[in-house]
C-alpha cells in the first residue's frame, strides 16, 4: 500500500518501519473504500507518519485530545519556516488534528470526553420511553430531543431542578424567547413536548402531577392554513433550469424530480437506497418510517433517466448504499437539512415569492397540481402516502384561481363544479399501482 504513495526506496523504508505501520495501512485502505481520491490519501499518508512518530504509544493506551494537540504543536514547530503565513500554519495544525482524530477513532483509541447534558438520566429515560413504549419515529425523536435539550439547558443555567419547575418557570422560559420569531405552531410543538415530558416525569415522581395541565398552548384551528407552494409552471421552470452537466445540477435535478413528481419528503429522499429501485420492473420502493410501511411507485421515465445519469456520472464510489451522497470527500449520505438548503437555493433563484422556501413546498405543489387536474383527494392522499384522509383535506381549499373565475355569477360556479365532476378520475382502490401510475404520469406536462 505504501509503495503507491511514495517515490523512493528510502521513503518506502521509512514508512514501513515507523510505528503502527499495519494500522496506518489499514486506515488508508479504509479511506480509499470511502471514495477518497488518490491525492487526498497521499497527503493523509504523510500526516499519518508524522502522527505515528510524535505520539507516545503504549499498550492499549487511549490518546486524549490534549495529547493530540500537543503533538500537533511539536510538528508545527519543527516544520514551520520563517515567513510562513499564520493562516497556513493554522491550516496545517487543524489538518493534523483532524486526521489524527479520525485515525484514532477508527482504531478505537481516541479518548473522547462525553458531552455533558443537563439532567442526562431523566433525559435518556424519557427518550427511551418515547422510542420503546410509544414507538415514535426517529425524526420525531430528533425533534423532541432538540426541544428538550434547549429547555434543560435553560433550567441548568438558572440552577432550577425538574422537581421545582412550576407555572412561573414555564412562563419565564417562553417569555425569554419572545425575541425569536416563533409562530403559534412552533410554540405549540414545544408546549406539547414539555407536556409529554412532565407527564412522564410525574409518573416517575420527579415532579408534581399537576404540572402538565398548567402548561397552556396557543389556540390552533384545524386546517387553518393553506398549503404554500409554487405554481406548477414555476416547478416546470425549476426542473428545466437543471438541465446542465455540472455534478451539482445533475444531482439536484434527480432530487427535485422526486420531490415534485412523487411528493416525497426530503428525509425520505435522503433515505432512498440503491436497493429501493427495481430497474427491470420499473418500480421505486419508499420506506415510510412515520407509517411504518413500504409503498410502491412506478418509476417514471423522466425520473429514471435523471437517477441513472446521476448514479453513472456523478455519484462517487462508496460503501454507502444510499443513492444520494455528498459531492465532496469524505463521501457520505447528506442530512435532510443539507439537501433542503440546496433545494431552497434553486427555488429562490427562480425569483418566485413564497412565504416559505423549504423543500416541502414542492410536495404542496405536487398535490395542488393533481387537485387542479381533477384527481380525487383519496388518490392524492394515496400518492402522498397519507395515512388518513384528514391530512389531505387541506388541499380542497387551494384551487383559488378557478374559484376566482367562478365568483362572477352563480351559474359560473355551478358550471365550474360540473366541470370538476366531469374531469374527476375513476376510483381506484387504496394502494392500487394503477392509481399511482396515473397520478405520477400526469405531472410532466411539458417538463423535459
Residues with catalytic roles: 265, 293, 360, 363, 386, 395
The grid cell for 70 is 500537543
DSSP per-residue letters across 85-121: -HHHHHHHHHHHHHHHHHHHHHHT-EEPPPPP-TTHH
HSE (CB half, 13 Å, CA atoms) of 441? 8
Mark residue 137 as left, alpha or beta (left: phi above 0; alpha: psi -120 to 50; beta: remaining). beta
What is the DSSP code (8-state) at residue 286?
A: E
DSSP per-residue letters across 7-71: -SHHHHHHHHHSTTHHHHHHHHHHHHHTT--HHHHHHHHHHHHHHHHHS---TTPPEEHHHHHHH
Residue with C-alpha cell 415532579? 207
Residue 287 pairs with which residues in a beta bridge?
294
Residue with C-alpha cell 493554522? 90
In our burial notation (b when 16+ CB lie closer than 10 A, e otherwise), range 423-439 reads eeeeebeeeeeebbebb
Q: CB neighbours of 345 closer than 8 A, spacing ≥ 6? A: none
Q: For the chain, how long is the longest CA-to-CA vector?
A: 93
Q: How many angstroms separate the CA atoms of 33 and 320, rounded?
A: 10
CA proximity to 1, closest of 19, 28, 20, 33: 28
Q: How far is CA 192 from CA 138, 141, 144, 199, 236, in A?
A: 17, 13, 10, 11, 39
Beta strand pairing status for 283-288 and 293-298? antiparallel
Amino acid at each position: 500500500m505504501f509503495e503507491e504513495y511514495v517515490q523512493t526506496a528510502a521513503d518506502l523504508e521509512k514508512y514501513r518501519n515507523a510505528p503502527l505501520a499495519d494500522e496506518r495501512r489499514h486506515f488508508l485502505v479504509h479511506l480509499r473504500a470511502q471514495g477518497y481520491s488518490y491525492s487526498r490519501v497521499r497527503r493523509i499518508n504523510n500526516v499519518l507518519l508524522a502522527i505515528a512518530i510524535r505520539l507516545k504509544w503504549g499498550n492499549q493506551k487511549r490518546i486524549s485530545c490534549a495529547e493530540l494537540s500537543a503533538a500537533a504543536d511539536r510538528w508545527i514547530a519543527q516544520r514551520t519556516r520563517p515567513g510562513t503565513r499564520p493562516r497556513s500554519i493554522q491550516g496545517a495544525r487543524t489538518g493534523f488534528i483532524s486526521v489524527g482524530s479520525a485515525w484514532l477513532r477508527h482504531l478505537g483509541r481516541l479518548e473522547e470526553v462525553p458531552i455533558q447534558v443537563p439532567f442526562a438520566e431523566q433525559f435518556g429515560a424519557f427518550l427511551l420511553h418515547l422510542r420503546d413504549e410509544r414507538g415514535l419515529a426517529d425524526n420525531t425523536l430528533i425533534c423532541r430531543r432538540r426541544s428538550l435539550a434547549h429547555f434543560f439547558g435553560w433550567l441548568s443555567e438558572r440552577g432550577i431542578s425538574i422537581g421545582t419547575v412550576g407555572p412561573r418557570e414555564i412562563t419565564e422560559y417562553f417569555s425569554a424567547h419572545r425575541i425569536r420569531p416563533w409562530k403559534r405552531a412552533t410554540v405549540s410543538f414545544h408546549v406539547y413536548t414539555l407536556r409529554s415530558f412532565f407527564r412522564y416525569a410525574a409518573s416517575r415522581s420527579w415532579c408534581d402531577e399537576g404540572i402538565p395541565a398548567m402548561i397552556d398552548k396557543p389556540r390552533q384551528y384545524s386546517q387553518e392554513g393553506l398549503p404554500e407552494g409554487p405554481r406548477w409552471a414555476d416547478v416546470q421552470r425549476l426542473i428545466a433550469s437543471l438541465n446542465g452537466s455540472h455534478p451539482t445540477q445533475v444531482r439536484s435535478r434527480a432530487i427535485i424530480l422526486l420531490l415534485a413528481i412523487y411528493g416525497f419528503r426530503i428525509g425520505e429522499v435522503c433515505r432512498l437506497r440503491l436497493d429501493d429501485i427495481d430497474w427491470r420492473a420499473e418500480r421505486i420502493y419508499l420506506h415510510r418510517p412515520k407509517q411504518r410501511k413500504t409503498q410502491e411507485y412506478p418509476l417514471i421515465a423522466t425520473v429514471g433517466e435523471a437517477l441513472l445519469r446521476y448514479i453513472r456520472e456523478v455519484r462517487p464510489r462508496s460503501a454507502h448504499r444510499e443513492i444520494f451522497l455528498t459531492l465532496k470527500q469524505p463521501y457520505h449520505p447528506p442530512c435532510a437539512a443539507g439537501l433542503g438548503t440546496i433545494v431552497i437555493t434553486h427555488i429562490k433563484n427562480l425569483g418566485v415569492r413564497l412565504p416559505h422556501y423549504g423543500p416541502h413546498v414542492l410536495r404542496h405543489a405536487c398535490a395542488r397540481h393533481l387537485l387542479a387536474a381533477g384527481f380525487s383527494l383519496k388518490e392524492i392522499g394515496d400518492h402522498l402516502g397519507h395515512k388518513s384522509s384528514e391530512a389531505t383535506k387541506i388541499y380542497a381549499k387551494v384551487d383559488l384561481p378557478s374559484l376566482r373565475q367562478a365568483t362572477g355569477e352563480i351559474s359560473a360556479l355551478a358550471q365550474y363544479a360540473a366541470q370538476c365532476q366531469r374531469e374527476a378520475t375513476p376510483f381506484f382502490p387504496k394502494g392500487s399501482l394503477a392509481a399511482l401510475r396515473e397520478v405520477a404520469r400526469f405531472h410532466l406536462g411539458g417538463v423535459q
